[in-house]
């Protein structure tokens, strides 16, 4: 499609439309860059950030975990603490239901999450400390935000567990492997208990590895597949994860997360 000719003060968006150019507050620009790449408009007008930093926002999720040890359901609560400065950097901070705090940061290559334990030494470092208290982190969204963008992240398995005879002890396999992430879509509609969300980004990941796990199992092949949906102005609205192995007694596990309630 031919790029349109736009008048002064406007530019062509990713959808081929002329939109007004904006110069958002630098403090907020990092968290809104993802929305600008997709929407092609003014973030402070449309409020299309994919990791909103407004203090007081709350997310309530339904989580279902299926393992060979059974099925478990629980609620996950997340609260935005607003923007914070740590070690001379800007973050969007969120408190999880277990008391831990996650920090979201924009970098040149995408949006990252860094975790710090509640009350731990790494969580109470003052801004300006020479040591980075949060480490490298995990990339959640790669730039540019368009179909085909890829990146790699190292994650641990979370659903591979079973009860082992004769006493029914719980055996859990937690192994690290690399997942190759890819943005598959940037304009999907997703329906979850919290409602219908438009213009979502869909991210998919796959990874395989062979590991010696012990635990009377030995070596086995592991495959992990992950799909996540992020809605503009909301953030993560849905996630699905499946972990499978070549071990007959531990064939697979599944994890599903959906947004149940949102407080803006």
Cβ distance 107 to 134 under 8 Å? no
For residues 260-264, average pLDDT: 95
Average pLDDT, the chain: 77
pLDDT in tens, 89-138: 888 899 998 888 888 888 888 899 887 643 333 333 333 333 445 556 88
Q: How far apart are CA 9 and CA 145, in angstroms?
A: 23
Q: Are 112 and 140 in contact (CB under 8 A)?
A: yes
First to last CA, the chain: 37
- CA 24 and chain centroid, separation: 24
pLDDT in tens, 201-211: 999 999 999 98
Asked whether 205 and 182 are in contact (CB, 8 A), the reply is yes
The predicted structure's pLDDT at residue 254? 96
For residues 48 and 233, give the distance between their C-alpha atoms in angstroms, rounded to a whole number: 5
157-206: pLDDT as tens digits: 999 988 776 667 787 888 899 999 999 999 999 999 999 999 999 999 99
Domain 50-263 grouped into CATH 1.10.3910: no
Domain segments of the chain as ranges: 1-48, 50-263
- What are the pLDDT digits (tens) for 79-88? 999 988 877 8
Residue 24 has pLDDT above 60, yes or no: no
Instruction: Extract the tokens encoding 54.
Output: 């407004």
């Amino acid at each position: 499609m031919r790029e349109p000719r736009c008048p002064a003060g406007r530019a062509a968006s990713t959808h081929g439309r002329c939109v007004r150019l904006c110069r958002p507050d630098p403090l907020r620009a990092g968290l809104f860059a993802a929305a600008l790449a997709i929407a092609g408009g003014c973030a402070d007008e449309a409020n299309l950030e994919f990791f909103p930093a407004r203090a007081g926002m709350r997310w309530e999720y339904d989580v279902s975990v299926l393992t060979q040890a059974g099925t478990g359901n629980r609620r996950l609560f997340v609260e935005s603490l607003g923007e914070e400065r740590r070690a001379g950097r800007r973050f969007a901070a969120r408190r999880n239901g277990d008391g831990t705090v996650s920090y979201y940061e924009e970098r040149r290559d995408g949006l990252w999450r860094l975790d710090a334990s509640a009350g731990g030494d790494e969580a109470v470092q003052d801004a300006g400390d020479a040591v980075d208290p949060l480490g490298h982190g995990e990339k959640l969204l790669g730039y540019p935000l368009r179909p085909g963008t890829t990146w790699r992240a190292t994650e641990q398995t979370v659903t591979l567990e079973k009860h082992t005879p004769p006493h029914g002890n719980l055996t859990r396999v937690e192994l690290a492997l690399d997942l190759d992430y890819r943005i598959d879509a940037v304009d999907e509609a997703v329906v979850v208990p919290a409602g219908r969300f438009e213009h979502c980004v869909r991210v998919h990941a796959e990874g395989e590895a062979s590991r010696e796990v012990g635990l009377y199992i030995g070596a086995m092949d592991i495959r992990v597949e992950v799909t996540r949906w992020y809605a503009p102005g909301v953030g993560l609205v849905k996630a699905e994860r499946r972990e499978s192995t070549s071990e007959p007694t531990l064939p697979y596990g599944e994890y599903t997360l959906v947004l149940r309630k949102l407080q803006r």
